[in-house]
Structure 1
Amino acid sequence: MKKNFTYILILLPLLLATSMVQAQTKISGTVSDDSGEVLFGVNVFEKGTFNGTTTDLDGNFSLEVDKLPATLTFSYIGYNEADVEVTDASSPVNVTISAGIGLDEIVVTGNRTKPRTILDSPVPIDNFSVEELTSGGKTNMEQMLNYKVPSFNSQNQAISDATAHFDPADLRGLGPSRTLVLVNGKRKNQSAQVYLNRTPGKGEVGTDLKSIPTAAIERIEVLRDGASAQYGSDAIAGVINIILKDEVDFTTVTSHTGVTSMGDGFHFGADLNTSVSIGEEGFINLTGSYYTQNLTNRAGEVTDTDADYQDWLNENPTAGMIVGQPDLTSTAGMANMEYPLSDNATFYSFHGVTHRTGRSFAYYRAPYWRPDVAAAEFWTPMENFIGYHPTFETEIVDNINSAGIRFGVAGFDADASVTYGRNAVDYTVNRSVNRDYLADHGWSPRTFYPGGYTFQNTVGNLDLSRSLADDKISLGLGAEAKIEQFSSREGDHISYYKGGSDSFAGIKPEEVVSERRTNFAAYAGLDFDLTESLLLGAAARFENFSDFGTNFSWKVNARYKIGKRGAIRGSYSTGFRAPSLHQRYLINSQYIIVQGSPDPQLQG
């Protein structure tokens, strides 16, 4: 009896798995618009799940569901979302979605005089709710925007040292440092990391979008137009404005998990968002977030081989490589509050902190690539040496704090605020060796602390806006003062001894920097509604950098509405980009793999 019971326990999971596979039903069809044109890239999801796909170039989709009936949700930028209940999958499900979503939504980005609707705005604005962003099943903000925002680009960078933990992102292909990121309209600090190796935006620095928990976001506005004359030198490509949640009716607790089709990359996340009333009209919105992911590996097999090490490659066809997303664990908190001080003044503030650790991998040091380490018999006896695989590990802390008062003065709507932001990254290299130190001393550490970087800024803003001539003329004025600081930390002395720790050398004493600069700017903007359909606008901005000099940028734009659902827009602007503090003062000795050389070559 006991034996039979054991067989049942073994067979039961197999029978359940078989029944689950058999229960899968494939739904196929085509998505088109009102005119019959097929639509490429439409998001198709089984409602209430993370099960989804997108349409191909011919508008076709195919999605497997657990059971029928199933409700599919179809969403696409610029189109109304549609829910379709499928009860029969034997015939194609052809869906038509109509254009015109969100044209009457109010946006605050791209115009510093007064809020306007998407249709009324003189510049192209995308407005995405958090529901629309998360409907794609992506787990981080970069990939959510990647699948939703035209011309936004971000990709994970494997085998790229610290850059693998930041994912360079940009708008319109103009580079990470040319896209300004705002939170509730206030400038978000850049990250401390300068992107290195052969990655997009090499030598540039961007904003750490992973530092804003998705559960804290109400919507994201994206300006896809040059905006240096309005926002400053780092807005040449455009602006991403992250609007935080305010008062919410319910406390929301969400969790998600998943794994790739290859069985790796397991991830799990949990978020909590709630709000508390302060008095009769005030509130504080609170968010807590936790996320962890495991690495993925998409290493290919080595085909260009040498007879001297063919036996090792036969046993290790991928040469020991790990190529994919890194291990990552992140915890974050966000608070957004507002409290009326009087009928004419409101205090507001928001605060956020993120702590993130990660682990990525360098190139595998195969035994035929490191014969000196094998001969030293430091890791193992020479005949047992199989090489080693250095890891690159990071600890990243990002925080932002902003407080201000909105009030009325002399007929103007005024907003005075101070914002402080900081990003710090520290490095650890594990499973490595300093080959020069090993040769000179007969041993070497296997763990190194190569140092790290910190960037912080403090920004003060005063913004004024007013409508004139029966609301036909809108005037905006403002000033900004900014202090930036960038510093680096020395690595442990063996991490930079001669050639340094294998895969990433530490920061040397002569490479340690601590620099500071100030920036003052003043701007003005004017919009004139000549008719109900025709809008003309102009903006100008003067900036003075203590280490770079002065600049004057200007912009003119126009918008003509065609009926209630369309508009023609045009703009002409000048702009410049002041180099970031990192780019001006970073000193870095970087070793990278160069074809034809057995050892990494110094690039710094």
Structure 2
Amino acid sequence: MTKFLNHFGMMFLLFIGTSGTLIAQEVSGVVSDESGALPGVSVIVKGTTTGTTTDFDGKYSISADSNAVLVFSYVGYETQEKAVSGNKMNVTMQSGVALDAIVLTGNRAKPRTILDSPVPIDNIGLDEMRKTGQPTIDKMLTYKVPSFNSSTQAVSDATAHFDPADLRGLGPSRTLVLVNGKRKNQSALVYINDTPGKGEVGVDLKSIPAAAIERIEVLRDGASAQYGSDAIAGVINMVLKKNVEYTTVNVKSGMTTEGDGFNFGVDLNTGLSGDNGAYLNFTAGYYEQEKTNRPGAPGTDALIGVYAGDQTWGDWLANNPELGMNVGQPELKKLDLFFNAGVPFKNDSGEFYTFGGVTSRQGTSFALYRAPYWVGDPYNLLHEAGSDYNGFQPTFETDVVDNNLTAGVKWKLFNFDVDFSGTYGRNRIDYDVNNTLNIDLGANSPIEFAVGGIRLATRWRI
């Protein structure tokens, strides 16, 4: 009897130990489909709240009883139930679940933003910028970089020909603009009108032809820590083309839905390359645009204090509800010439490089309209004698020339990268004010005035 009890006790203890081992079983494996591993597959022990998901390699690990059932589910695939049959269980999911709708939140295309650097950097290629349909670099960036803005300025004197650009809502002077990593000279114009960047000076982004650019790099966060206080808003680096396989000619044209603002542009980009890695890239471009006009119809002139129903000028306001204004983009003609060249050293330990270009731009914008109750023309300088005088709108005729040149050499020195270069940049603005008069000069007043010009020349050595 004692032997029987001892034998029974041993069997009972063995049974308990075996049951404990089954309960603590760790099951792992890989979940995949016909294309490979599936990350994010839900794995749940049926009838419990115990679960996990597969990692990026499709692997999972979960604690389950030996008689448990694992449920594998994933959007777009049939849910599978598998009884635990060992420590290793690999599962192949079968597609076939119909979905009412598919929402695409990403794709496998190369991302525009580089995220594996200490701070994110936007890297935008020329083809991507041209898809915006915009004619100039500043407008292209407005449609590609959410924190960048450059909008058309109207009735703002010479500022209308520059359209101040800002990054992250800060002023134009807070953004550092580079070409091939070298500082681009600013424009000579101080924005003094009630426009973005009032009281500041920015870079003339219209002076860089899109056809010469290979890509644009935009750095925002942490830019001032690397480049200084003039990069508080960020850095925009325009990388010029080097070697090109084909000579390209692009022609573009368009107009607004209102039938005005017709624009036309053509550019050419070509290049030469040497056997030793030398290169020469050349770009030429021409662009012109006509004015647009969106004056609205205020019907009253609060600036002067003349309102509809005025006994003297009420009829004129009724016949001219737009107050004679021309409000919109200016007329513009622009010519660009740019180059980028480099010659490696014979021992391939360095390179001599140079790049630069010149842009010539002429334009016409408009000032505030001089209504007949504001400025008179008693000597018939701007209207014919005997005809109705309806006032006049002065024009700003600008002539902008922007040129820059960089030359330098870079080489290896004691495992250091050495880059020594010199940069010269110059921006010149001459403008006239036409279709106006000086009432103090009376009948001797001219109707065209040479207002003058301003220059800004900068030099850097790095």
When normalised by structure 1's length, the TM-score is 0.57
SS in 1 for 2:378: helix
Contact 1:378–1:443, Cα closer than 8 Å, also in 2:
no
Aligned partner of 2:157 in structure 1 is 161
1:16-31 alignment runs, 5 A limit: none
Matched, 1:220 2:225: no
Alignment-mate amino acid for residue 278 of structure 2: G
Aligned partner of 1:102 in structure 2 is 110
Percent identity reads 55
Q: Within 2, Cα distance between the matches of 1:446 and 1:232?
A: 47
Contact 1:375–1:382, Cα closer than 8 Å, also in 2:
no
Q: Within 2, Cα distance between the matches of 1:459 and 1:100?
A: 42
- Unaligned segments of structure 1, at least 5 residues: 1-34, 36-92, 106-116, 462-604
Bigger Cα Rg: 2
Matched, 1:175 2:180: no
Offset, 1:95: 7.5
Aligned partner of 1:126 in structure 2 is 122
SS in 1 for 2:127: helix
Matched, 1:190 2:218: no
Distance 1:94 1:318, change over 3 A: farther
Aligned partner of 2:458 in structure 1 is 457
Question: Could you list the per-position Cα deviations for residues 54-83 of structure 1 after superposition, in whole angstroms to 9, with x for gaps in the alignment?
Answer: xxxxxxxxxxxxxxxxxxxxxxxxxxxxxx
Offset, 1:232: 2.4
When normalised by structure 2's length, the TM-score is 0.73
Aligned partner of 1:331 in structure 2 is 335
Alignment-mate amino acid for residue 449 of structure 1: A
Aligned partner of 1:389 in structure 2 is 393
- Unaligned segments of structure 2, at least 5 residues: 1-39, 41-100, 301-307
Aligned partner of 1:205 in structure 2 is 201
Aligned partner of 2:378 in structure 1 is 375
Contact 2:299–2:318, Cα closer than 8 Å, also in 1:
no
Contact 1:226–1:235, Cα closer than 8 Å, also in 2:
no
SS in 1 for 2:187: coil
Matched, 1:366 2:371: yes
Contact 1:359–1:391, Cα closer than 8 Å, also in 2:
yes
Q: Within 1, Cα distance between the matches of 2:109 and 2:423?
A: 34
Contact 2:299–2:320, Cα closer than 8 Å, also in 1:
no
Offset, 1:409: 0.5
Q: Within 2, Cα distance between the matches of 1:257 and 1:399?
A: 26
Aligned partner of 2:350 in structure 1 is 345
Alignment-mate amino acid for residue 369 of structure 1: W
SS in 2 for 1:210: helix
Aligned partner of 2:449 in structure 1 is 448
Matched, 1:138 2:141: no
Q: Within 2, Cα distance between the matches of 1:95 and 1:266?
A: 39
Offset, 1:351: 1.4
Aligned partner of 2:312 in structure 1 is 308
Q: Within 1, Cα distance between the matches of 2:314 and 2:387?
A: 16
RMSD of equivalent CA atoms: 2.0
Offset, 1:399: 0.7
Aligned partner of 1:412 in structure 2 is 416
1:414-433 alignment runs, 5 A limit: 414-433=418-437
Aligned partner of 1:543 in structure 2 is none
SS in 2 for 1:384: coil
Alignment-mate amino acid for residue 211 of structure 2: A
Contact 2:119–2:222, Cα closer than 8 Å, also in 1:
no
1:472-487 alignment runs, 5 A limit: none
1:484-499 alignment runs, 5 A limit: none
Contact 1:218–1:244, Cα closer than 8 Å, also in 2:
yes
Q: Within 1, Cα distance between the matches of 2:450 and 2:178?
A: 33
Alignment-mate amino acid for residue 174 of structure 2: R
Q: Within 2, Cα distance between the matches of 1:265 and 1:184?
A: 33
Q: Within 1, Cα distance between the matches of 2:454 and 2:217?
A: 30
SS in 1 for 2:353: strand
1:44-83 alignment runs, 5 A limit: none
SS in 2 for 1:143: helix
Distance 1:275 1:200, change over 3 A: same
Offset, 1:318: 1.2
Aligned partner of 2:361 in structure 1 is 356
Contact 1:215–1:271, Cα closer than 8 Å, also in 2:
yes
Larger fraction in strand: 1
Offset, 1:133: 0.6
Aligned partner of 2:9 in structure 1 is none
Question: Could you list the per-position Cα deviations for residues 539-583 of structure 1 after superposition, in whole angstroms to 9, with x for gaps in the alignment?
Answer: xxxxxxxxxxxxxxxxxxxxxxxxxxxxxxxxxxxxxxxxxxxxx
Question: Could you list the per-position Cα deviations for residues 128-153 of structure 1 after superposition, in whole angstroms to 9, with x for gaps in the alignment?
Answer: 00000110111111111111102111
Aligned partner of 2:5 in structure 1 is none
Q: Within 1, Cα distance between the matches of 2:263 and 2:350?
A: 44
Contact 1:102–1:118, Cα closer than 8 Å, also in 2:
no
Distance 1:94 1:265, change over 3 A: farther
Offset, 1:434: 1.2
Distance 1:421 1:258, change over 3 A: same
Question: Could you list the per-position Cα deviations for residues 140-169 of structure 1 after superposition, in whole angstroms to 9, with x for gaps in the alignment?
Answer: 111111111021111111000000000001
The number of residue pairs the alignment matches comes to 354
Alignment-mate amino acid for residue 420 of structure 1: Y
Contact 1:134–1:144, Cα closer than 8 Å, also in 2:
yes
SS in 2 for 1:436: helix
Contact 1:407–1:414, Cα closer than 8 Å, also in 2:
yes
Q: Within 1, Cα distance between the matches of 2:107 and 2:200?
A: 38
Q: Which moved more, 1:442-451 or 1:284-293?
A: 442-451
Q: Within 2, Cα distance between the matches of 1:391 and 1:308?
A: 28
Q: Within 2, Cα distance between the matches of 1:383 and 1:131?
A: 54
Distance 1:246 1:95, change over 3 A: farther
SS in 2 for 1:321: coil
Offset, 1:280: 3.2
Offset, 1:346: 0.7
